[in-house]
Amino acid sequence: MIFRKKEEIDLEKYVVVSYLLKSATTLRDAAWSLAIGQSVGNPNVRNEWEADELFEDHAALVLEDEAKLEKMSEGLVEIAFPSVNIDFKTDGISHLLVNIMGGQLDIDIVQKCAVVDIVFPKDVKDSFLGPKFGISGIREFTGVYDKPVLGSIIKPKTGISPDVLLDMVKQLVDGGVNFIKEDEILSSPSFCRIEDRVPKIMNYLEGKDVIYSVSIHSDSPYLLERVKRIHDLGGNSVHVNFWCGMGAYKAIRELDLPIFIHFQKSGDKILTNRNHDFYIDWTVICKLAGMMGVDFIHAGMIGGYYKWDESETLEAVKILNESNVMPALSCGFHPGLTKQVTDKVGIDYMANVGGSIHGHPDGTTAGAQAMRDSIDEVGK
C-alpha cells in the first residue's frame, strides 16, 4: 500500500524527503516504520479507525521498490509526505520538522536517519514569502554590485557599553565596511540595552549605506516585540541565532517590515553534524531558510580557523544563491583568504570578519581597510 513508484503519484500533493537510513533489520522495515510512524499511526499496530481511505489520503509513501529494500540494510530512501497533513501557513516549518524528523528517532531498528534533501510542491513553496531583500536588495542598499560585501562583527562579544559600541561602529565604518553584526552572545543585558544602544548607532548611521544587525535573541513572544521595537528605533536589521527556533525567521519575515534578517548558525551542529547518526543536513536548513525569508545566513567558511567541510559550504552557497539569500562566510576570514574564497564561490557572498579586523596591529579601522582593499582587488 505505501510502497509506490514516483510516476504513480501526483508529486504536487507531496513533500518528498530524501533520507540516509540504516536499519538493524532491513531497509524495508526502517522505511515502513518511518513512513507509517510519521504519518498515520503506530508502525506495528493497526486499529479499526485506520480505514483504507485514511491511508490513501494521509499516509506517507515510500518511493522505492519494496523487494529491493528487503535485501538492503542501509541506503538512500525517498519518502513522500502528503502536504495536506500540514497547514504550511500556520503550522509552518516547525510542524514540518516534527513530521519528517520526529518519532522515528525512537524506533529501535532505526540506527541512522539523516535528512539530506527536501523537494516541495509548487503551491507549498509559493506559500512562503522568501527574502524581502535578499542578495539583490542588499546590493541595492549598500551600493556594492561588482564584488563581495564586507561585513564585520562586534568584538568583544559582550561587556561593552552603548558608547563603546558606538566608537567601534565608527571605526568600522571609517574602514569601509558595508555590514556590521552584533555578536550572538550580546542580546539586551542591563549594561547595554537594545533601547539604549540602537538609537545611538542608527543616528550615527543615518545617511550611510551600512546595514547594522542587532542581536535580539529571546524567547517568544519577546522576539517579535524586539523586531518591532528595533524598527521603531530606526534599525534596519536583526540578527537571530539558530537556537531561537526555525519558525522564528518565518514569523519575523511575515511582519513584513523593512528589516534585513540575518540567520546565525552557531549551535547548529547539534542538529546538522554529518558525523552523527541522526541529523538534518545543513544544506537542507539553508533551503528552508531561503523559503522562510532570511536575507543573510552564516553559511560556513572556506579556510579560516574552523575546519568546515568545504564541499558542504560550497553546496550551501549554491543553494543560497539560487534562493536569493546572501551567504555570510565567517570564522577566521582575513585578507589573505579573499581571492581564494572568491575564486571558489564567486562574488555573491559576504565576508563577515571579526578577529582579523579588530586584532590588526594598527587598530580596527586599519583592519577594516585591509579587508576593504582585498575585496576591492577581487572586484577589479
pLDDT surpasses 80 at 42: no
Task: Kindly report the average pLDDT of the chain as a whole number.
Answer: 94
CB-CB contact of 217 with 252 (8 Å): no
Residue 231: which pLDDT band, with cuts at 50, 70 and 90? very high
Higher pLDDT, 102 or 126: 126
Q: 6-126 with 134-378: one CATH topology? A: no
pLDDT (0 to 100) of residue 107: 83
CA distance 92 to 112: 26
Q: What's the pLDDT score for residue 108?
A: 87
d(CA 204, CA 263): 25
Domain ranges of the chain: 6-126, 134-378
Output the pLDDT for position 379: 84
Q: For 9-24, write each residue's pLDDT tens digit.
A: 999 999 999 999 999 9
Of 57, 54, 123, nearest to 89 by C-alpha is: 123
The β-bridge partners of 23 are: 110
Instruction: Give the pLDDT confidence score for residue 55 in this predicted structure.
Output: 81
- In this predicted structure, the answer to whether residue 99 has a pLDDT above a threshold of 70 is yes
Angle between helix 222-232 and helix 194-205 axes, rounded to 10 deg: 30
Domain covering 134-378: architecture:
Alpha-Beta Barrel (3.20)
DSSP string, 204-260: HHTTS--EEEEE----TTHHHHHHHHHHHTT--EEEEEGGG-HHHHHHHHHT--S-E
Which of the residue ranges 38-42, 76-80, 234-238, 277-281 would you say has the lowest mean pLDDT? 38-42
| Mean pLDDT of the 119-137 span | 96
More confident residue, 266 or 104: 266
Task: Read off φ and ψ for residue 67, nearest 5 degrees.
Answer: -65, -40
User: For residue 221, what pLDDT is reported?
Assistant: 85
The average pLDDT across 315-325 equals 97
pLDDT of 132 > 70? The answer is: yes
H/E stretch holding 288 reads helix 282-292
**Which of these ranges, 70-79, 185-194, 306-315, 362-371, has the smallest mean pLDDT?**
306-315
User: Residue 1 has what pLDDT?
Assistant: 76
Residue 43 in this model has a pLDDT that exceeds 80: no
Determine the Cα–Cα distance for residues 40 and 59; give it in Å rounded to an integer: 5
Q: What is the pLDDT of residue 45?
A: 64
Residue, of 213 and 102, whose pLDDT is higher: 213
CB-based contacts of 322, cutoff 8 Å, min separation 6: 290
Summarize pLDDT for 157-190 with one digit per residue, the tens. Answer: 999 999 999 999 999 999 999 999 999 999 999 9
Q: Name the nearest CA neighbour of 42 among 112, 113, 103, 94.
A: 103
Q: What is the pLDDT of residue 78?
A: 98
Average pLDDT, integer, range 138-144: 98
Task: Assign 343 a pLDDT band (cuts: 50, 70, 90).
Answer: very high
Cell numbers given for 279: 541529523
Q: For residue 166, what pLDDT is reported?
A: 98
CA-CA distance, 46 to 254, in Å (whole number)? Answer: 41
Per-residue pLDDT, averaged over 41-60, amounts to 76
pLDDT > 90 in the chain, percent: 86
Contact 184, 212 (CB under 8 A): no
* Angle between helix 222-232 and 246-254 (nearest 10): 40
User: 200 CB contacts (<8 Å, ≥6 apart)?
Assistant: 162, 163, 165, 166
Give every strand in the sheet of 74-82, ordered side by side: 61-62, 74-82, 14-23, 110-119, 278-280
Average confidence (pLDDT) over 60-74:
96
Mean pLDDT of 225-231: 97
pLDDT bin (cut points 50, 70, 90) of residue 145 is very high
Q: Is 48 exposed, middle or buried (0-12, 13-18, 19+ CB in 10 A)?
A: exposed
CATH 3.30.70.150 for domain 6-126, yes or no, is: yes
Nearest to 294 by CA among 238, 347, 346: 238
- Taking the complete model, does pTM exceed 0.85, yes or no? yes
So what's the pLDDT on residue 48? 72
Averaged pLDDT, 288-301: 95
Partners of 110 in beta bridges: 23
| Residue 46 clears pLDDT 80, i.e. is over it | no
